[in-house]
């Protein structure tokens, strides 16, 4: 998906997706919005595609005897969800996951005490597929599916096939990415590779590697930055990110608190030809359980991207915004002109379309690089949107770049002093 997409359900904005976590448990499959019912939802006003973050493995917790969802839907902890159409027979018998080394336990027991739907049931599959079709009819462009490794791969595939059949779409025309956290210490059956027939998977190892490399040396130890996709999901099936609403709280990935390293990791992700990139926007937090300022159990405040608002609107930062454009111009051009000084500075191009130099060191560096871009003047889109920083590429393709510590210089064929003035 080329343009910026905005995700709903958790709040979001990203190059291919964006999100802000508020915590989710499901009491209904209604789609209420601030404009009214889901039929009044208008993705066009977001100026981009909308990716819906969907939770289909489970519903609400067993700790509350009964309650009412934010859309006014009643539920209880015995499996009665009348507005969704669920009864106790649609759920697995209550049990807790006792080990992630046993796939049946992961698939059939409750994650964090949440009532576990039996996704092998024809009725459950029918209800869930109707929900996806309804979202498509409203104009949603695709889906991120939560907690996928808690469902058997054949169940998830069967649900998507039903969605395709009911909506009159082909499987490939339904954008579908899945949260599957890979861990070699867990059961082989719940690893990401088992879910690739259905769609993309979130590649968590990529985010972990970005943190390791940008927090230390791009030369790496056993793995260098150039080899970051080694032994993980194939590029065409990988959905990648620097951080998300879960990993930013458990210290597994870089976050906005990491400053330059976080910005550079986002720039690298948007420039390097691997996976479908996701830029995460959220809010500032001070402890693991911090919520958004002004949020309640049933509502989320309007996002405020102004300075000192408490919101971290990453996709609006000039450097990240510039790299979104860089990513789109680079398109499917191959990696080219890789240059690495072995001392925390790298540079590479994407054919004759774009070029970037990344300085992860603590001192300003001036280096001459070879590029495949035509001779001329280009805007440094990492520095600003107004071309206040520029780059000269000589007739031999070389460019001498001065890159500040903890920063980058990035340019592409669609951003020149002439195009900015238009």
In order of their start, the domains of the chain are: 6-54+125-330 (3.20.20.80), 335-421 (2.60.40.1180)
Q: Greater confidence, 209 or 69?
A: 209
Secondary structure percentages of the chain, helix, strand, coil, to 5: 30, 25, 50
* Token pair recorded at residue 375: 């001779």
- Tens digits of residue pLDDT in 6-37: 444 333 333 333 333 334 456 556 565 555 55
What average pLDDT does this structure show over 325-342?
A: 96
Mean pLDDT computed over 345-356: 98
Q: Is the pLDDT of residue 45 over 80?
A: no
d(CA 188, CA 168): 34
More confident residue, 372 or 288: 372
Q: Catalytic: 179?
A: yes
Q: Residue 370, exposed/middle/buried by CB under 10 A (0-12, 13-18, 19+)?
A: middle
Looking at the chain, the whole-number percentage of residues with pLDDT higher than 70 is 87
Higher pLDDT residue, 294 or 201?
A: 201
Phi, psi angles (nearest 5°) of residue 59: -120, -125
Catalytic residue among 116, 179, 203, 319: 179
Dihedral over Cα of 245, 250, 252, 254: its sign: positive
For 308-321, how does the pLDDT look when each residue is reduced to its tens digit (9 = 90+)? Answer: 888 889 999 999 99
User: 58, 116 in Cβ contact below 8 A?
Assistant: yes
| pTM of the predicted protein model | 0.90
335-340 and 345-350 beta bridge pairing: antiparallel
Model confidence at 96, pLDDT cuts 50, 70, 90, reads very high
pLDDT of amino acid 371: 99
Residue-wise pLDDT tens digits, 137-150: 989 999 999 999 99
| Residue 365 confidence (pLDDT) | 97
Mean pLDDT of all residues in 243-255: 93
Please count the residues of the chain: 422
Question: Model confidence at 185, in pLDDT bands (50, 70, 90)?
Answer: very high
What is the rounded distance in angstroms from the CA atom of residue 113 to the CA atom of residue 118?
15
- The mean per-residue pLDDT over the stretch 269-276 comes to 98
Residue 167: is its pLDDT beyond 90?
yes
335 against 343, higher pLDDT: 335
Q: Is 257 helix (H, G, I), strand (E, B) or coil?
A: helix
Given a cut of 60, is residue 215 above it in pLDDT? Answer: yes
Least confident of 40-54, 73-87, 247-261, 367-381: 40-54
According to the model, what pLDDT value does residue 217 have?
Answer: 85
CA–CA gap between residue 402 and residue 367 (Å, rounded): 7
**pLDDT score at 16:** 35
Short-list 226, 336, 330, 312, CA closest to 262: 312
Are β-strands 142-145 and 50-54 bridged in parallel, bridged antiparallel, or unpaired? parallel
The per-residue pLDDT for 32 is 57
pLDDT at 302: 81
For residue 75, the tally of other CB atoms under 10 A from its CB is 24
CA distance 217 to 229: 17
Predicted pLDDT at 20: 35
Mean pLDDT on 103-107: 99
Distances (CA, A) of 169 to 48, 134, 163, 165, 166: 21, 13, 8, 7, 8
Task: Give me the chain's average pLDDT, please.
Answer: 89
């Amino acid at each position: 998906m080329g343009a910026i997409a905005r995700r709903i359900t958790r709040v979001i904005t990203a190059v291919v997706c964006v999100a802000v976590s508020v915590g989710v448990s499901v009491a209904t499959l209604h789609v209420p919005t601030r404009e009214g019912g889901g039929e009044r939802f208008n993705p066009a006003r977001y100026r981009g595609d909308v990716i819906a973050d969907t939770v289909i493995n489970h519903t609400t917790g067993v700790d509350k005897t009964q309650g009412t969802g934010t859309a006014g839907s009643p539920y209880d902890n015995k499996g009665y969800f009348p507005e969704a159409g669920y009864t106790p027979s649609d759920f697995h018998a209550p049990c807790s996951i006792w080990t992630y080394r046993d796939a049946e336990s992961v698939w059939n027991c409750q994650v964090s005490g949440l009532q576990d739907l039996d996704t092998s049931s024809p009725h459950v599959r029918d209800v869930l597929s109707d929900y996806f079709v309804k979202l498509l009819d409203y104009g949603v462009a695709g889906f991120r599916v939560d907690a996928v490794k808690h469902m058997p791969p054949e169940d998830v595939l069967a649900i998507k096939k039903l969605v395709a059949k009911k909506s009159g779409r082909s499987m490939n025309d339904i954008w579908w990415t899945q949260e599957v956290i890979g861990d070699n210490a867990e059961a082989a059956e719940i690893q990401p590779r088992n879910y690739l027939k259905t769609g993309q998977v979130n590649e968590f190892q990529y985010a972990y590697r970005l943190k390791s490399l940008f927090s230390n040396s791009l030369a790496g130890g056993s793995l260098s930055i150039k080899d970051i996709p080694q032994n993980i999901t194939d590029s065409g099936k990988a959905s990648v990110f620097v951080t998300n609403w879960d990993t930013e709280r458990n210290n597994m990935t870089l976050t906005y608190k990491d400053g330059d390293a976080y910005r550079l990791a986002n720039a690298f992700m948007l420039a390097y030809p691997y996976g479908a990139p996701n830029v995460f926007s959220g809010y500032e937090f001070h402890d693991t359980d911090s919520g958004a300022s002004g949020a309640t159990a049933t509502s989320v405040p309007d996002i405020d991207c102004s300075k000192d608002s408490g919101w971290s609107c990453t996709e609006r930062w000039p450097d990240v915004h510039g790299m979104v454009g860089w990513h789109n111009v680079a398109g499917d051009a191959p990696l080219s002109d890789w240059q690495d000084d072995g001392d925390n500075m790298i540079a590479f191009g994407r054919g004759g379309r774009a070029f970037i130099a990344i300085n992860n060191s603590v001192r300003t560096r001036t280096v001459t690089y070879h590029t495949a871009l035509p001779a001329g003047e280009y805007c440094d889109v990492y520095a600003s949107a107004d071309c206040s920083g520029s780059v000269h590429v000589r007739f031999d393709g070389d460019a001498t770049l001065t890159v500040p510590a903890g920063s980058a210089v990035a340019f592409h064929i669609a951003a020149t002093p002439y195009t900015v003035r238009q």
